[in-house]
Amino acid sequence: MLIKVDNLTKKFNDLVAVDNLSFQAKKGEFICLLGPSGCGKTTALRMIGGFLKPDRGQIIIDGENITNVPPEKRPVSTVFQSYALFPHMTVMENVIYGLKFKGYSKKEAIIEGEDYLDIVGLNLEKNKKVTQLSGGQQQRVALARSLIINPKVLLLDEPLSNLDAKLRIRMRDEIKHIQERFNITMIFVTHDQEEALSMADRVLIMNKGKLEQIGTPEEVYNNPRTKFVLDFMGSSNVLQSEDKNIQFIRPEKIMMNRNKGGIEGIIEEKIFLGSIILYKIKTKSQIYKIQKNNDGLDEYSVGDRVYITLKTTGSIAQ
């Protein structure tokens, strides 16, 4: 494993921000730390980056214990939420800034900078001040500046949160493409479930400082281990159960039609979201949330009598 985080703990007075966090990541793996605001994910990232000292635990990268190594001497680079670019510098000056600490001459640094600006598509903007760039362009400058120093691990702290929805989707693709091209280990902090599911090789879901579940996007969505993960990773229907387990079914796993058979219900609510349509169906036992793809043939309306069939249910041990 390239990186091993072992029992990492951090307290702020009486608040346990990160509570015995342990995980490993191999070279070239894309890890997402996912959870709501205040769950400890950014604190964990800052400890890995060296900007916070843990109260307990170890951080090992490529066999070296870096727990007490200062940030500038770690084989790690961080892309901050605010990008932390130097506003008085040009794009090129920002990108090559870290190379002066690695013994590069000015000429060598510029040659290297040209290559990385070409990778992120910003060679034409190299002489502009970063304040002249759009949010997406500044994001790419921050990426190039972090990648040029050839870190073993790249940390990203909610780097897309300041972008509009359309640009966020485009930048997700660009970051994933760069990660695969360099085969670099990335640890990406986000509170956005869709971001994590679409980008990560594995997702670490945190809640109140603790690791709730770690797994592939498919595993944490289809097979949540706790009620928190079930609720956080999208919408679900919790079914009545006679045993101690929580039974659930995702809205997209419920079939709906007008033919008799299955569970009878009435459409109470219909929400049009473009590519999908959400329904709330009231039955004798409970209200079900159902999601259907918008195929352009929808004929259902509020008040319609329908019949639903539950396809695949899941179970969580309490």
pLDDT number for residue 144: 92
How far is CA 69 from each of CA 9, 42, 54, 246, rounded to the nearest angstrom? 17, 19, 12, 45
Place of tokens 């498919």: 218
**Per residue in 19-32, is it b (16+ CB within 10 Å) or e — as a string?**
bebebebeeebbbb
* Measured distance CA(47)–CA(68) in Å, rounded: 10
Token pair recorded at residue 98? 């870290």
Residues near 199 by Cβ (< 8 Å), separated by ≥ 6? Answer: 30, 32, 172, 175, 176, 188
pLDDT in tens, the chain (318 residues): 899 999 999 999 999 999 999 999 999 999 999 999 999 999 999 999 999 999 999 999 999 999 999 998 999 999 988 888 999 999 999 999 989 888 889 999 999 999 999 988 899 999 999 999 988 899 889 999 999 999 999 999 998 887 888 888 888 998 999 999 999 999 999 999 999 999 999 999 999 999 999 999 999 999 999 999 999 998 999 986 667 788 999 999 999 999 888 999 999 999 999 999 999 999 999 999 999 999 887 789 999 999 999 988 899 987
CATH pick for 237-316 out of 1.10.287.90, 3.50.30.30, 3.40.50.20, 2.40.50.140:
2.40.50.140
How far from the centroid of its chain's Cα atoms is residue 130's Cα?
A: 26
pLDDT number for residue 284: 94
* Measured distance CA(256)–CA(271) in Å, rounded: 15
Nearest to 266 by CA among 218, 219, 303: 303
The answer to whether 269 touches 302, Cβ cutoff 8 Å, is yes
- Dihedral angle sign, alpha carbons of residues 123, 129, 130, 134: negative
Where helices occur in the chain by DSSP H, the ranges are: 41-49, 91-95, 106-119, 135-147, 165-182, 193-199, 217-222, 227-232
* Measured distance CA(159)–CA(139) in Å, rounded: 7
* Measured distance CA(309)–CA(290) in Å, rounded: 11
What are residue 267's DSSP bridge partners?
281
pLDDT number for residue 241: 65
Give the domain ranges of the chain: 3-228, 237-316
pLDDT number for residue 242: 63
* Measured distance CA(260)–CA(182) in Å, rounded: 55
| Residue range 3-228, CATH number | 3.40.50.300
The letter for the amino acid at 83 is Y
Q: Count Cβ atoms below 10 Å from residue 249 Cβ, excluding itself.
A: 19
* Measured distance CA(82)–CA(135) in Å, rounded: 10
